[in-house]
């Protein structure tokens, strides 16, 4: 029998029979994989042997015979290379390996925004709760950078670490000395959300969620590059910039490409058309916070989740289920035209929290925020070729050097390292604790885990849904859901930072404590719940006996949800220093004179409360329709007054989201003012932050 030795990293060895011993060179690949470049010839050779023949099958339809073979792959992809060696007496042996053909990477690697950055063997993890970036080398914390307030994104290249902070500042740090070299304060309410350092380290491009801008920051100042509604994810490569709209319109997801000459090209991501099943579902791509340029610069990937807003008893006659509401979404498109290239099909996965290509572009890593999973995808077909399981909670950062993958589990406060050497990449190398002192109270941190942990069977079945699926960062997903099957109706998602501290909760006031979300978890997310079945049976009525004190997890969830009241975003509609405008002051007087303060009252800008008879205080201001549904199994006679805190960030408006703008909402309330007065009132409403 012919023996084969070391075919592209495949283990083998010489046999005792006379025949061919095959060694294919080079054999630098790991785990039986070899990366080659499209269009460049690769030569495969075997040592001389007597009385043997060799047949090469390159996996792309081409074959050759001979001890030496030279082949060029004309298209990218994963190919199975097979070598068959035959002895003179007709006996054969074969060996195989995987060849990954990729386009040659750009000379200057692309950069992208994320919670985790890697440069020259050092990692930088942004921890917003701690107001610091943790520096890790060789799986050890080596430094902590006291950066600007609430760092939400980092990016590194050419000796520069760029940091974007939610508290309206951007910083550039020297990675050698780990010293601050530039800090750029931004206007009040700019709310930096993503940052991509220039590949040469000269500056950084930043998405401003508050003002809807993409700006370029350098030592000489700030330049506006493009206007993008609700931008977050951003990446730079091959002279172009890409920024995605975080919360999509119902029609399609969106991103922009800004070329080096300033030309802006709009990209559109059409909804998936389904059909709905236990392995896939319809939905518009949204919450698009992860963007990356493929290392060859020819494609970008944009990822988040997809929201199935076409489903519901009113909309298509089908009830929403835990499998058909939200799922992970990822698209690959041509980097120049935006033409679709591939989409990933994810089963049992929630929102994508981070993406990263290996430096050669032979693999794409995809981290799921609450499912605790990192998928390894073929970068061209987006099919799964491996991954890691049970990584942690809050997976929102990824980095790789091609041999190791690092995953930031931000809620677990850990950096997890995996070996990419195996075909499936499932070897865990280290878990690095990132914090010495936890900045959050224990119950709030527990609640953060509960809020995000889609993989916890108590939260949901099959890891599709968590609280974070509709309330990213305590805000709202800008969706109107058809909850008719739940005894409600069309309901626009409300921001948790505007939630009244003591209830009642929901538009229809059908919950009296945050712990009542146990009912929604069990009924609509197919979770087993955080209460024992016996306890739940005793307190199932959300307006009956209290659930508080029966579950540490539910009490933690309540504490975490209430913590968002301190996270109301700053309004960019104020003056640059945060002061109210003159128009806003005039609008405040009109607000009172028009009677708005009667319902939108107090520090919480709502009169949400319970009447003496135990019923909730509800109002019908003329916005109820047949599609508004019911309340607690009975007629819907009115709605709980929503808070106006952070109103500028919570469009669309009304309980069913039918008011796209504040003037539309005022008209629905019957407020009629002269144009100038309406403009002042709208300005006041847009300036609202913590209280009226």
Task: List, for residues 153-187, the tens digit of each pLDDT value.
Answer: 999 999 999 999 999 999 999 999 999 999 999 99
pLDDT at 664: 96
674 burial via Cβ count (<10 Å: 0-12, 13-18, 19+): exposed
Residues 6+ apart with CB under 8 A from 622: 668, 669, 670
pLDDT at 692: 65
pLDDT at 87: 81
Torsion sign, CA atoms 343, 347, 353, 357: negative
Residue 424 has pLDDT above 90, yes or no: no
Q: What is the pLDDT confidence band of residue 368, given thresholds at 50, 70 and 90?
A: very high
Helical ranges in 411-551 per DSSP H: 442-452, 517-524, 533-539
In 3D space, the residue among 593, 691, 613 whose CA is nearest the CA of residue 646 turns out to be 691
| Residue 127 CA, distance from chain mean position | 16
In 3D space, the residue among 126, 130, 22, 25 whose CA is nearest the CA of residue 83 turns out to be 22
pLDDT at 94: 83
Q: What is the pLDDT confidence band of residue 46, given thresholds at 50, 70 and 90?
A: low
What token pair was written down for 352?
Answer: 């994508």
Residue 27 has pLDDT above 80, yes or no: no
Rounded Cα distance between 608 and 616, Å, is 8
Beta-sheet strands, E only, within 7-61: 21-22, 33-37, 42-45, 52-57
Can you give the pTM of this predicted structure? Answer: 0.94
Is the previous residue joined to 275 through a cis bond, with omega within 30 degrees of 0? yes
pLDDT at 566: 92
Rounded Cα distance between 400 and 46, Å, is 33
pLDDT at 628: 97
In 3D space, the residue among 566, 561, 476, 568 whose CA is nearest the CA of residue 513 turns out to be 561
Beta bridge partners of 235: 112, 242
Rounded Cα distance between 408 and 410, Å, is 6
Q: Phi and psi dihedrals of 365, rounded to 5?
A: -95, 135
The dotted CATH code for 3-102 is 2.60.40.10
What class does CATH assign to 111-227?
mainly beta
Strands 352-357 and 284-293: unpaired
Residue 90 has pLDDT above 90, yes or no: no
Q: What is the pLDDT confidence band of residue 385, given thresholds at 50, 70 and 90?
A: very high
pLDDT at 459: 98
Rounded Cα distance between 635 and 691, Å, is 32
pLDDT at 6: 37
pLDDT at 207: 98
Domain with CATH 2.60.40.10 in the chain: 3-102
Domain with CATH 2.130.10.10 in the chain: 111-227
Range in 38-52, 280-294, 300-314, 589-603 with the lowest mean pLDDT: 38-52
Each residue's pLDDT tens digit, 318-347 = 999 999 999 999 999 999 999 999 999 999
**Residue 180 to residues 147, 184, 241: CA-CA distances in angstroms?**
9, 11, 25
**Residue 125 to residues 151, 153, 169: CA-CA distances in angstroms?**
10, 9, 18
Region 234-242: what's the mean pLDDT? 97
Residues 6+ apart with CB under 8 A from 620: 637, 638, 639
Residues 6+ apart with CB under 8 A from 216: 203, 204, 205, 206, 222, 223, 225
Range in 393-402, 415-424, 603-612, 679-688 with the lowest mean pLDDT: 415-424
Task: Quickly name the fold that domain 444-567 has.
Answer: Cytochrome Bc1 Complex; Chain D, domain 2 (1.10.760)
pLDDT at 26: 33
Helical ranges in 289-432 per DSSP H: none
pLDDT at 43: 85
Each residue's pLDDT tens digit, 600-613 = 999 899 999 999 99
Q: Phi and psi dihedrals of 625, rounded to 5?
A: -130, 175
The residue to which tokens 């950062």 are assigned: 397
**Residue 467 to residues 350, 459, 650: CA-CA distances in angstroms?**
11, 9, 17
Each residue's pLDDT tens digit, 109-163 = 999 999 999 999 999 999 999 999 999 999 999 999 999 999 999 999 999 999 9
**Residue 95 to residues 22, 31, 36, 67, 487: CA-CA distances in angstroms?**
9, 14, 19, 14, 62
Domain with CATH 1.10.760.10 in the chain: 582-606+641-687
Residue 539 has pLDDT above 50, yes or no: yes
The dotted CATH code for 582-606+641-687 is 1.10.760.10
Region 480-501: what's the mean pLDDT? 95
Listing DSSP states for 208-275 in one string gives: ETTTTEEEEEETTEEEEEEE-SSEEEEEEETTEEEEEESS--SS-EEEEEE-TT--EEEEEEPPB---
| Residue 229 CA, distance from chain mean position | 17
pLDDT at 370: 98
Q: Phi and psi dihedrals of 613, rounded to 5?
A: -85, 10
Residue 2 has pLDDT above 60, yes or no: no
Half-sphere exposure of 124 toward its Cβ, with a 13 Å CA cutoff? 30
Q: What is the pLDDT confidence band of residue 490, given thresholds at 50, 70 and 90?
A: very high
Q: What is the pLDDT confidence band of residue 17, given thresholds at 50, 70 and 90?
A: very low
Q: What is the pLDDT confidence band of residue 51, given thresholds at 50, 70 and 90?
A: low
The share of the chain scoring above pLDDT 70, in percent, equals: 94
pLDDT at 210: 97
Rounded Cα distance between 256 and 258, Å, is 6
Residue 11 has pLDDT above 80, yes or no: no
Residue 264 has pLDDT above 70, yes or no: yes
Rounded Cα distance between 300 and 291, Å, is 7
Residue 637 has pLDDT above 80, yes or no: yes
Element (H, E) at 685: helix 675-687
What token pair was written down for 418?
Answer: 């995996």
Region 399-420: what's the mean pLDDT? 97
Beta bridge partners of 206: 195, 215
pLDDT at 214: 98
Per-residue DSSP letter, 505 = B
Q: What is the pLDDT confidence band of residue 1, given thresholds at 50, 70 and 90?
A: very low
pLDDT at 97: 86
Residues 6+ apart with CB under 8 A from 568: 497, 498, 645, 646, 689, 690
Q: Which residue has the higher pLDDT, 277 or 47?
A: 277
Rounded Cα distance between 536 and 539, Å, is 5
Note whether 495 and 472 are within 8 A (CB).
no
Residues 6+ apart with CB under 8 A from 652: 478, 480, 492, 658, 659, 660
Rounded Cα distance between 686 and 683, Å, is 5
> What torsion do the CA atoms of 225, 231, 237, 240 make, to the nearest 10 degrees?
-30
What token pair was written down for 504?
Answer: 């009642």
pLDDT at 425: 52
What token pair was written down for 408?
Answer: 């930031």
């Amino acid at each position: 029998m012919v023996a084969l030795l070391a075919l592209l990293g495949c283990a083998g060895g010489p046999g005792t029979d006379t025949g061919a011993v095959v060694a294919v060179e080079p054999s630098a690949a790991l785990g039986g994989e070899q990366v080659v470049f499209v269009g460049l010839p690769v030569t495969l050779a075997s040592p001389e042997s007597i009385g043997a023949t060799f047949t090469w099958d390159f996996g792309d339809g081409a074959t050759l015979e001979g001890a030496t073979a030279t082949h060029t792959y004309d298209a990218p992809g994963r190919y199975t290379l097979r070598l068959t060696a035959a002895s003179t007496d007709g006996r054969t042996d074969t060996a195989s390996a995987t060849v990954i053909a990729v386009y040659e990477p750009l000379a200057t690697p692309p950069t992208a925004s994320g919670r985790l950055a890697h440069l020259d063997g050092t990692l930088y993890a942004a921890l917003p709760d701690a107001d610091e970036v943790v520096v890790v080398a060789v799986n050890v914390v080596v430094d902590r950078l006291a950066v600007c307030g609430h760092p939400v994104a980092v990016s590194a290249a050419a000796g520069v670490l760029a940091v974007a902070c939610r508290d309206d500042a951007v910083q550039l740090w020297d990675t050698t000395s780990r010293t601050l070299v530039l800090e750029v304060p931004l206007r009040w309410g700019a709310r930096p959300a993503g940052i991509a350092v220039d590949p040469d380290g000269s500056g950084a491009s930043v998405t401003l969620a508050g003002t809807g801008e993409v700006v370029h920051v350098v030592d000489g100042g700030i330049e506006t590059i493009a206007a993008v509604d609700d931008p977050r994810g951003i990446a730079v490569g091959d002279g172009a910039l890409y920024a995605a709209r975080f919360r999509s319109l119902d029609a399609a997801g969106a991103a922009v490409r800004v070329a080096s000459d300033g030309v802006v090209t709009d990209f559109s991501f059409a909804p998936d058309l389904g059909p709905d099943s236990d392995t896939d579902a319809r939905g518009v791509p949204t919450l698009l916070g992860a963007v990356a340029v493929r290392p060859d610069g020819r494609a970008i990937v944009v990822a988040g989740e997809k929201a199935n807003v076409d489903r519901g008893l009113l909309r298509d006659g089908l009830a929403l289920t835990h499998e058909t509401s939200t799922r992970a979404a990822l698209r690959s498109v041509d980097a120049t035209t935006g033409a679709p290239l591939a989409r990933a099909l994810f089963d049992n996965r929630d929102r994508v929290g981070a993406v990263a290509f290996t430096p050669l572009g032979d693999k794409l890593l995809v981290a799921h925020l609450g499912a605790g999973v990192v998928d390894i995808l073929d970068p061209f077909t987006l099919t799964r070729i491996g991954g890691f399981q049970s990584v942690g909670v809050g997976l929102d950062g990824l980095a790789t050097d091609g041999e190791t993958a690092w995953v930031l589990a931000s809620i677990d406060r850990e950096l997890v390292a995996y070996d990419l050497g195996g075909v499936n990449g499932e070897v865990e190398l280290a878990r690095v604790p990132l914090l010495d002192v936890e900045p959050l109270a224990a119950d709030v941190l527990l609640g953060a885990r509960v809020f995000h942990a889609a993989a916890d069977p108590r939260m949901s079945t099959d890891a599709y849904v968590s609280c974070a699926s509709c309330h990213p960062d305590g805000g709202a997903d800008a969706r109107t859901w058809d909850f008719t099957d739940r005894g409600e109706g069309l309901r626009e998602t409300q921001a948790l930072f505007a939630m009244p501290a003591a209830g009642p909760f929901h538009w229809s006031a059908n919950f009296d404590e945050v712990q009542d979300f146990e009912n929604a978890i069990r009924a609509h997310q197919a979770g087993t719940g955080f209460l024992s079945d016996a306890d739940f049976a005793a307190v199932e009525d959300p307006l009956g006996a209290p659930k508080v004190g029966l579950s540490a997890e539910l009490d933690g969830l309540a504490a975490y949800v209430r913590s968002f009241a301190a996270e109301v975003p700053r309004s960019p509609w104020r003056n640059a220093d945060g002061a109210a405008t003159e128009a806003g002051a005039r609008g405040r007087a009109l607000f009172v004179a028009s009677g708005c303060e009667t319902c939108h009252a107090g520090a919480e800008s709502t009169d949400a409360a319970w009447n003496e008879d135990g019923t909730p205080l509800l109002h019908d201001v003329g916005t109820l329709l047949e599609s508004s549904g019911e309340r607690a199994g009975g007629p819907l006679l009115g709605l709980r007054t929503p808070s106006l805190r952070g109103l500028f960030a919570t469009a669309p408006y009304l309980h069913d989201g039918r008011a796209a703008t504040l003037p539309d909402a005022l008209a629905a309330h019957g407020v009629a003012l002269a144009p100038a007065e309406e403009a002042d009132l709208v300005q006041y409403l847009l300036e609202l932050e913590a209280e009226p």
